């Protein structure tokens, strides 16, 4: 009786199959490149391992025993399983597997979303079986998730003060200072600095620039972490603040928002692809990062 299967057992089982397919020992000599006596010896060894006869050979000719017929069915099923395993294992060798977690800043331009979509398309055209998770969050939250290694990559306007991160600039976004219909400055063509300094701002906990902002924070009684909240305060006609030009454009077209001294008080925000230096990326994460960078090139 067979216990564990060894390579020798598989060789003997294959020999048995070839003998049966050829119709006997003598007919199998040419196929196996063995003498009839050598085939007979190996068949005897297999029968000894199994503990029962597989075939009859003599004056009546070659025939397979009932137990041999059952074993033949089992052998063919075994070899089919081995072949299936071989194909699957070879397929896994070059396939990307696992998970990719990407953080993406809120309220990005449509062109940015299209580039991210292009990166996903590029990646899906690879030989892969990967779960991709997209998480929309504020920059501060994305930095926290990166530090906790709960994100593999993140796209946002980061402070770039985290020494634990690697940053790659992807694109820039223009910010204008806006007020809304109903605000005292809405009908003023070029409000002076004194009028602007008297305006009530919206406090953003994660400012785009630590120093050098064209219109620095002076006075605010409103606070919002998200662009949507900042827009709501501005639309009230009681506050002014910065918004991405692509985000504010639809409201400008409706005549509800107006940029204050555009160009002079405008500035650009650099968006970066960030990753944790200590987090060793797998093949899937490396490939997805390559596709992101290619999409933004």
Tell me the pLDDT tens digit for each residue of 121-151: 999 999 999 999 999 988 889 999 999 999 9
Query: Does 247 lie in the same domain as 275?
Result: no
Could you report the per-residue pLDDT of 152-169, keeping only the tens digit for each? 999 998 877 788 999 999
**Number of domains, the chain:** 3
Pairwise pLDDT comparison (159 vs 207), residue with the higher score: 159
Query: Does 260 lie in the same domain as 179?
Result: yes
User: Does residue 245 form part of some domain?
Assistant: yes
Q: pLDDT at position 202, please?
A: 93
Query: Does 120 lie in the same domain as 51?
Result: no
Give residue 124's domain range: 98-170+271-295
Q: Picking from 4-8, 35-39, 40-44, 46-50, which range would have the lowest pLDDT averaged per residue?
A: 4-8
Contact between residue 267 and residue 137 where contact means Cβ atoms under 8 Å apart: no
Q: What is the DSSP string of 212-229?
A: --SS----EEEE-SSHHH
Query: Does 223 lie in the same domain as 211?
Result: yes
Percentage, residues of the chain above pLDDT 70: 92
Query: Does 191 lie in the same domain as 265?
Result: yes
Pairwise pLDDT comparison (55 vs 5), residue with the higher score: 55
- Give every CB contact of residue 115 below 8 A, 6+ residues apart in sequence: 295, 296
Query: Does 130 lie in the same domain as 79?
Result: no
CA angle in degrees (0–180, nearest 5) for 58-62-63: 120
Say which CATH number the domain at 89 has: 1.10.10.10
With residue 289 as reference, give the H or E element that holds it: helix 283-295
**Domain termination residue (choose one: 93, 111, 134):** 93
Average pLDDT over residues 38-53: 90
Q: pLDDT at position 4, please?
A: 65
Pairing of strands 63-64, 55-56: antiparallel
User: Does residue 144 form part of some domain?
Assistant: yes
Q: Which of 176, 50, 82, 155 is nearest to 113 (CA)?
A: 155
Query: Does 216 lie in the same domain as 193?
Result: yes
DSSP designation for 199: S
Query: Does 163 lie in the same domain as 130?
Result: yes
Q: pLDDT at position 28, please?
A: 87
Average pLDDT over residues 30-52: 89
Query: Does 251 lie in the same domain as 113?
Result: no
User: Does residue 128 form part of some domain?
Assistant: yes
pLDDT averaged over every residue in the chain: 89
Query: Does 165 lie in the same domain as 78?
Result: no
User: Does residue 86 form part of some domain?
Assistant: yes
Could you give the CA distance from residue 37 to residue 202 in angstroms, rounded to a whole number? 95
**Domain termination residue (choose one: 93, 127, 151):** 93
Count Cβ atoms within 10 A of the Cβ of residue 117 and give its class: 0-12 exposed, 13-18 middle, 19 or more buried. exposed
**Structure token digits, residue 4:** 């564990």
Where do we find the tokens 């899906």? 124
Could you report the per-residue pLDDT of 66-84, keeping only the tens digit for each? 999 999 999 999 988 887 7
User: Does residue 198 form part of some domain?
Assistant: yes
Rounded to 10 degrees, the C-alpha dihedral 66/70/71/77 comes to 160
Where do we find the tokens 């003498």? 35
Pairwise pLDDT comparison (190 vs 9), residue with the higher score: 190
Beta bridge partners of 272: 156, 169
Query: Does 279 lie in the same domain as 165?
Result: yes
Confidence of residue 185 (pLDDT cuts 50, 70, 90): very high
Pairing of strands 96-105, 128-137: parallel
**Domain termination residue (choose one: 93, 114, 130):** 93
User: Does residue 110 form part of some domain?
Assistant: yes
Q: pLDDT at position 93, please?
A: 66
Tell me: pLDDT of 105 over 60: yes
Query: Does 227 lie in the same domain as 255?
Result: yes
Q: pLDDT at position 207, please?
A: 62
User: Does residue 1 form part of some domain?
Assistant: no
Where do we find the tokens 């928002």? 257
Pairwise pLDDT comparison (24 vs 1), residue with the higher score: 24
Tell me: pLDDT of 116 over 50: yes
Say which CATH number the domain at 121 has: 3.40.190.10
Say which CATH number the domain at 187 has: 3.40.190.290
Tell me: pLDDT of 181 over 50: yes
Tell me: pLDDT of 210 over 50: no
In Å, what is the CA distance from 271 to each residue of 159, 168, 172, 229, 256? 10, 8, 6, 21, 28
């Amino acid at each position: 009786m067979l216990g564990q299967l060894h390579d020798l057992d598989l060789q003997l089982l294959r020999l048995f199959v070839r003998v049966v397919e050829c119709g006997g020992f003598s007919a199998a000599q040419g196929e196996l490149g063995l003498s009839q006596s050598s085939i007979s010896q190996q068949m005897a060894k297999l029968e000894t391992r199994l503990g029962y006869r597989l075939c009859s050979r003599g004056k009546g000719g070659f025939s397979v025993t009932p137990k041999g017929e059952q074993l033949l069915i089992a052998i063919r099923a075994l070899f089919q399983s081995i072949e299936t395993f071989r194909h699957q294992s070879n397929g896994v060798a070059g396939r990307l597997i696992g998970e990719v977690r990407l953080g993406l800043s809120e309220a990005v331009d449509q062109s940015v979303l299209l580039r991210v979509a292009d990166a996903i398309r590029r990646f899906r055209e690879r030989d892969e079986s990967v779960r991709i998770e997209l998480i929309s969050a504020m920059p501060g939250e994305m930095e926290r998730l990166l530090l906790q290694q709960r994100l593999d990559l993140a796209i946002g306007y980061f402070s770039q003060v985290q020494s634990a991160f690697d940053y790659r600039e992807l694109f820039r976004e223009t910010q204008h200072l806006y007020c809304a219909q109903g605000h005292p400055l809405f009908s003023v063509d070029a409000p002076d600095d004194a009028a602007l300094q008297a305006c009530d701002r919206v406090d953003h906990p994660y400012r785009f620039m630590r120093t050098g902002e064209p219109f620095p924070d002076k006075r605010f009684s409103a606070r919002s972490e998200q662009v949507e909240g900042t827009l709501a305060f501005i639309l009230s006609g009681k506050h002014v603040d910065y918004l991405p030009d692509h985000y504010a454009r639809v409201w400008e077209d409706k005549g509800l928002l107006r940029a204050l001294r555009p160009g002079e008080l405008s500035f650009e925000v650099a968006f970066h692809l960030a990753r944790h230096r200590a987090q060793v990326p797998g093949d899937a994460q490396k490939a997805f990062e390559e596709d992101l960078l290619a999409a933004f090139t």
